[in-house]
C-alpha cells in the first residue's frame, strides 16, 4: 500500500477538516486504526494489519495470518509491540526485529508462545469452545496493562509477565468498546460500553486479581448499543447505535449534555481534534461532524467517506478515519476559533511528500 496525496476538492475553504492524504492498499473494509506521529496501523477485513510510515508515506509491513477480520489494533510506544485482534485471539507482534508474532493471547486467558493462528489459511468463522469474540482492546497509558473486551466481560492482561490477572464483569450484553485512562501511578480507570445500552466504569489498582465489579454505572443508558467512547480531560463522550452522543462528567459521574440525533445513522467512532477543544464523530453514513467540547454545539460537518466510518484515531497533528471503502483518510484541522472556522496557521507539518 501507499499513502497518496488527496486531491483538493471545491469548497475546501469552508470545510473544518482538510483531507490531505489517503492510505490505499487494503483489499477490504478497514475496521480499526491506531497511530503515533511516525507510524500508522490499520486492521482490515482482508485479515491483515498494515504498518505505514507516515514520514515516507510507504507501507512498511503487513501483519498476516489472522483467522478472520482484524477488528482492533493497538501499538505500545514503550515496548514497540503491536497487538492485533481477530476472532478470539490477540496476536502480539514485535516490529523492531522484522514482523514476528511473539505471542498469542486468547479471550479465555491462555497464552501461546509464537503464532497460534497462522496454520490455517482459510477464513475461520467458528470460535473455539470456551472462547468469545474479542471486540476491542485498549492499553493503559504506560503500556503495562492490556484490556480486552470479549463477551460480557473485559479480560485484564499484565504485559510485564504476559499473564491474565482477571476480568471486569457486570455487563449483561457484549462489551463493544472501551477506553482507559490512568488516574494515578498504578491505577487505571476503564470505561466500557456494551450492547446492553449501558456504560460502566471500573477502577483497577495494579495487582488487582480475579473478578472486578464496576465502581459506577452511568445513568440514563443510551437507547441502543454503545459503539464508541472517548475521554477528554474530565469528560467522557459516548456514541451509540441510537444515533446519539452523550457527554458525561467523569468526576461527578453525571450526564452533562446529550445530542439525541447527532447523526442520521449509528455513531460508530469518536475522537478529539488535536490541539482543539473539538469532538469529532463519524457515522455509518460516512458523515463526520465536529462539536465544541464545552458547549456541545456543532461546529461543522462534512462527507468523510462514501461508506461507513468504522474508526477514528488521532496523533499530535493529524486525524485518521478508517472506512468500509478500504481506505484510511488523513485529515488536518483548520483553525477552529470559538467554534468559528478560519483558515489560519498551519497545524503541524504535513506528511513529507516524496
Which residue is it, cell 504498518?
Answer: 51
Cα–Cα–Cα angle for 311, 315, 319, rounded to 5 degrees: 50
pLDDT tens figures, 185-228? 889 999 999 999 999 999 999 889 999 999 999 999 999 999 99
Average pLDDT, the chain: 92
Average pLDDT of span 316-320:
97
d(CA 50, CA 43): 7
**CB-based contacts of 310, cutoff 8 Å, min separation 6:** 29, 30, 31, 32, 268, 269, 322, 323, 324
d(CA 5, CA 1): 13
pLDDT at residue 7, rounded to an integer:
86
**Predicted confidence band at 12 (pLDDT cuts at 50, 70, 90)?**
low
pLDDT at residue 13, rounded to an integer:
63
d(CA 321, CA 306): 12
Name the CATH topology of 1-7+25-119+128-132. Methylamine Dehydrogenase; Chain H (2.130.10)
Cα–Cα–Cα angle for 7, 8, 14, rounded to 5 degrees: 155
Q: Structure pTM?
A: 0.93
Altogether, the residues listed in the chain come to a count of 354
pLDDT at residue 342, rounded to an integer:
42
pLDDT tens figures, 118-175? 777 788 878 999 999 999 999 999 999 999 999 999 999 999 999 999 999 999 999 9
Coil, strand or helix at 320: strand
C-alpha cell at 211: 473478578
Coil, strand or helix at 27: coil
* Domain boundaries along the sequence of the chain: 1-7+25-119+128-132
Residue 174 CA neighbour count, 13 Å, CB half: 11
**Predicted confidence band at 242 (pLDDT cuts at 50, 70, 90)?**
very high
Average pLDDT of span 274-284:
96
pLDDT tens figures, 83-106? 999 999 999 999 997 889 999 999
Residue 74 has pLDDT above 90, yes or no: yes
pLDDT at residue 121, rounded to an integer:
74
Amino acid at each position: 500500500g501507499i499513502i497518496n496525496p488527496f486531491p483538493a476538492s471545491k469548497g475546501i475553504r469552508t470545510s473544518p477538516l482538510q483531507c490531505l492524504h489517503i492510505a490505499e492498499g487494503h483489499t477490504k473494509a478497514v475496521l480499526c486504526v491506531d497511530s503515533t506521529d511516525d507510524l500508522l496501523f490499520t486492521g482490515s477485513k482482508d485479515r491483515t494489519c498494515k504498518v505505514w510510515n507516515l514520514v515516507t508515506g510507504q507501507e512498511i509491513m503487513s501483519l498476516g495470518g489472522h483467522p478472520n477480520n482484524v477488528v482492533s489494533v493497538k501499538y505500545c510506544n514503550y515496548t514497540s509491540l503491536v497487538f492485533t485482534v481477530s476472532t478470539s485471539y490477540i496476536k502480539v507482534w514485535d516490529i523492531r526485529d522484522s514482523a514476528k508474532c511473539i505471542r498469542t493471547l486468547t479471550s479465555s486467558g491462555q497464552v501461546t508462545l509464537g503464532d497460534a493462528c497462522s496454520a490455517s489459511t482459510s477464513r475461520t468463522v467458528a470460535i473455539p469452545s470456551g472462547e468469545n469474540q474479542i471486540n476491542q482492546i485498549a492499553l493503559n497509558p504506560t503500556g503495562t496493562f492490556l484490556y480486552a473486551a470479549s463477551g460480557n466481560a473485559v479480560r485484564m492482561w499484565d504485559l510485564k509477565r504476559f499473564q491474565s490477572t482477571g476480568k471486569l464483569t457486570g455487563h449483561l450484553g457484549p462489551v463493544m468498546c472501551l477506553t482507559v485512562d490512568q488516574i494515578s501511578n498504578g491505577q487505571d480507570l476503564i470505561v466500557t460500553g456494551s450492547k446492553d445500552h449501558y456504560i460502566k466504569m471500573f477502577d483497577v489498582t495494579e495487582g488487582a486479581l480475579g473478578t472486578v465489579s464496576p465502581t459506577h454505572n452511568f445513568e440514563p443508558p443510551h437507547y441502543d448499543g454503545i459503539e464508541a467512547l472517548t475521554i477528554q480531560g474530565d469528560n467522557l463522550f459516548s456514541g451509540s447505535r441510537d444515533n446519539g452522543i452523550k457527554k458525561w462528567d467523569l468526576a461527578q459521574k453525571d450526564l452533562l449534555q446529550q445530542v439525541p440525533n447527532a447523526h442520521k445513522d449509528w455513531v460508530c467512532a469518536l475522537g478529539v481534534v488535536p490541539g482543539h477543544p473539538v469532538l469529532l464523530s463519524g457515522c455509518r453514513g460516512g458523515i463526520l461532524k465536529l462539536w465544541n467540547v464545552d458547549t456541545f454545539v456543532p461546529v461543522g460537518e462534512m462527507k468523510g467517506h462514501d461508506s461507513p466510518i468504522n474508526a477514528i484515531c488521532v496523533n499530535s497533528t493529524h486525524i485518521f478515519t478508517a472506512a468500509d471503502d478500504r481506505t484510511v483518510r488523513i485529515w488536518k484541522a483548520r483553525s477552529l476559533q470559538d467554534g468559528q472556522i478560519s483558515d489560519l496557521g498551519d497545524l503541524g507539518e504535513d506528511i513529507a511528500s516524496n
